[in-house]
Amino acid sequence: MSRAAAGSPASPVQRAWSARVIRVAGCSGPRTRSSTGSRSASRSRAATGFPASPLQEALLPLFDDNSDAAVEAATEVLNGFTAAYERHWAEGMAAKLGIAAPDRDLAEDVLKLMRLQKVDFTRFFRALSAGTARTLFTEPEPFDAWAARREVLLPADHTAAAAAMDQVNPAYIPRNHRVEEALAAATEGEMGPFHRLVDIVARPFGERPGLEDYAGPAPLGPAPYVTYCGT
């Protein structure tokens, strides 16, 4: 049996598998996401396999010539992705928090706390290693309770833990308002802001004097900044 061409119409079995992936992902099909969307929703879609039906249908013949066997093999791979993603996420969050072993509840709780009190994600983790994170919270008591839980999970050498955190938590990221400034200047033929931004984010972990404005979020405006995956 010859392999189906990537551009050929999907079989009923292929369409059924794509529909199953979409149901697992909890959405009706491919979509773009604005920067104001839910971080947790985005993570959930990533953890279950972001649905991209035409790609799925094109890949199925690479698993097996037989459609049923292809769907079975692809489903096995898909089912294993969630556990792998969640494991890497938990390990990454442990490194960002400076704790020796993953603690999902600790990570989820501080993300929720940051969201409720509108604490900047990037600034928080740098402040956490510096011991100044409490000042970022308008109501610090919930943070104090969380910090006490984290304290018992920290390694004995707090200085080494803080140094390790600064190797995975950037001080500088390409924030939207800085990217827009660089693009606007480049459109007018001035490439200086672009080259400066590239130099800063190319070395994001070491704090440098004179770059304080690049470490903070955008000034508060009348409306949230909106961007889309396609940009």
Encode the chain (231 residues) as per-residue pLDDT tens digits: 444 444 455 555 555 555 555 444 444 444 434 444 444 444 444 444 544 467 777 888 888 888 888 888 888 888 888 899 999 999 999 999 999 999 999 999 999 999 999 999 999 999 999 999 999 999 999 999 999 999 999 999 999 999 999 999 999 999 989 999 999 999 999 999 999 999 999 999 999 999 999 998 888 776 777 776 655
Helix axes 104-116, 67-97, angle to 10 degrees: 70
As a 3-state breakdown, the chain gives helix, strand, coil percent values, each rounded to 5, of 60, 0, 40
Between CA 152 and CA 170 the distance in angstroms is 25
DSSP 8-state symbol, 9: P
Tokens at 39, concatenated: 């971080």
**Mind giving me the DSSP string for 188-225?**
TT--HHHHHHHHHHHS-SS--TT-HHHHSPPPP-SS--
CB 125 within 8 A of CB 96: yes
In angstroms, the Cα distances linking 230 to 33, 35, 40, 56, 186 are: 9, 12, 20, 19, 20
User: Cα(163)–Cα(129) distance, rounded to whole angstroms?
Assistant: 8
C-alpha–C-alpha distance, residues 40 and 1, integer Å? 44
Query: Quick check: pTM over 0.85?
Result: no
Residue in 88, 96, 98 with CA at minimum distance from that of residue 121 = 96
The domain segmentation of the chain, as residue ranges, is 12-94, 98-165, 176-215
